[in-house]
A and B are shown apart, each in its own frame.
Chain A
Amino acid sequence: MKVYTSNQSTEQSTSERVKVGVADYAVTESGAELVTSGLGSCVGIALVDTETGIAGLAHAMLPAASDGRSQTDGGGPDPMSNDAKYVDTAVNGLLREMVDAGADRSRIEARVAGGSAMFEFNAGDGAVGERNVEATEEVLGEHGIPIVATDVGGDHGRSLSFDVSSGTLSVRRAHGDTRDL
């Protein structure tokens, strides 16, 4: 007996807006608007190949996969754990998908927003936001991708909207203040 299933690729989205969740990234080839919301210490990384219009947006939580879950949880990274959660693996994944889609690494430019320090906790070792931004600069530097604009740090949250056709990353704060990068 042959089984016929329809091909349900959720990746080939044709909608005009693509929502990127927390610990998530998305790539568009169709000029869709990429949006993500609620960045606190998380960092948003917007990449675009200006010539082909192939673009991506990542919303990462922590600097590096090795910085994530500690050994106390059974040791080693969880195979179920999500690449998009960490800056290094998210950028690598995003770049890979963009290049697969036809982007040229040498033409890709980056815009970075988020990484704020909203609270000072006793338990944490602090400054996750700052370290997220540093990790972003480092991994983009390794790939030779220039950061053309940033809106990072501070003590407030941000929501992002990446208009791929113009390459503009709009950074919205609470109560409607918007800054275009």
Chain B
Amino acid sequence: MARNVLVVDDSAFMRNLLKQLLEDDHEVVGEAENGVEAVEMYRELDPDVVTMDVVMPIRNGIEATSEIKSIDPDSSVIMCTSVGQEEKMREAVEAGADGYITKPFQKPNVLQAIDDVVGVEA
């Protein structure tokens, strides 16, 4: 089923790419450029799932994930990053991330991650 997705990435190119990739199956309800915007937009939009870049200006994705999880423990956050270091993945787990996608990703990876994290049923 279609989910409301908040896309968080400082790269306009990457937000665009994710939007195109998700548009057939889900709805991108918001786009944030940094961790601060991400938290504000999460409060405002209450999306089903967040795709979260890690390295961003102002506030990084790990910190933003921690905060979103403290606001809403039932939130679903999927890290979506070019950083594939084991140590960074551990940090993401500690922050409460539900999934971790490394860039470059392919459409099935992203769709599968969303299904796994929020479930396929209504």
* B-facing residues in A1-60 (Cβ within 8 Å): 1-8
Q: How far is the CA of A161 from the CA of B84 in the complex (A)?
A: 38
Question: Are A5's CB and B99's CB within 8 A?
Answer: no
In the assembled complex, the CB of B105 is this many whole angstroms from the nearest CB of chain A, namely: 5
Closest residue to A3 on the B side, CB-wise? B100
Q: How far is the CA of A4 from the CA of B93 in the complex (A)?
A: 14
Question: Are B109's CB and A4's CB within 8 A?
Answer: yes
In the assembled complex, the CB of B18 is this many whole angstroms from the nearest CB of chain A, namely: 14
Question: Are A1's CB and B101's CB within 8 A?
Answer: no
B102: chain A residues at CB < 8 Å are 3-6
A1: chain B residues at CB < 8 Å are 89, 92-93, 97-100
A7: chain B residues at CB < 8 Å are 106
Question: Are B89's CB and A3's CB within 8 A?
Answer: yes
Q: How far is the CA of A80 from the CA of B117 in the complex (A)?
A: 40
* In the assembled complex, B119 has its CB within 8 A of some CB on chain A: no
Q: How large is the interface on A (under 10, 10 to 19, 20 to 34, 35 or more residues)?
A: under 10
Question: Are A4's CB and B105's CB within 8 A?
Answer: yes
Q: How far is the CA of A2 from the CA of B99 in the complex (A)?
A: 5
B97: chain A residues at CB < 8 Å are 1
In the assembled complex, the CB of A9 is this many whole angstroms from the nearest CB of chain B, namely: 12
Question: Are A2's CB and B113's CB within 8 A?
Answer: yes
In the assembled complex, the CB of B97 is this many whole angstroms from the nearest CB of chain A, namely: 6
Q: How far is the CA of A1 from the CA of B100 in the complex (A)?
A: 7
In the assembled complex, the CB of A108 is this many whole angstroms from the nearest CB of chain B, namely: 36
Question: Are A4's CB and B84's CB within 8 A?
Answer: no
B112: chain A residues at CB < 8 Å are 4
A6: chain B residues at CB < 8 Å are 102, 104-106, 109
* In the assembled complex, B116 has its CB within 8 A of some CB on chain A: yes
List B residues at the A interface (Cβ < 8 Å). Answer: 84, 89, 92-93, 97-102, 104-106, 109-110, 112-113, 116
Top 10 A-B residue pairs of the complex, sorted by shortest distance between their CB atoms: A4-B109, A4-B101, A3-B100, A6-B106, A5-B102, A1-B93, A4-B113, A2-B99, A6-B105, A1-B97
Can you sample 29 A-B contacts with CB below 8 Å? Answer: A1-B89, A1-B92, A1-B93, A1-B97, A1-B98, A1-B99, A1-B100, A2-B99, A2-B100, A2-B116, A3-B100, A3-B101, A3-B102, A4-B100, A4-B105, A4-B109, A4-B110, A4-B112, A4-B113, A5-B84, A5-B101, A5-B102, A5-B109, A6-B104, A6-B105, A6-B106, A6-B109, A7-B106, A8-B104
Extra contacts, 20 of them, besides A1-B97, A8-B104 (Cβ < 8 A), are: A1-B92, A1-B93, A1-B98, A1-B100, A2-B99, A2-B113, A2-B116, A4-B99, A4-B100, A4-B101, A4-B102, A4-B105, A4-B109, A4-B110, A4-B112, A5-B109, A6-B102, A6-B104, A6-B109, A7-B106
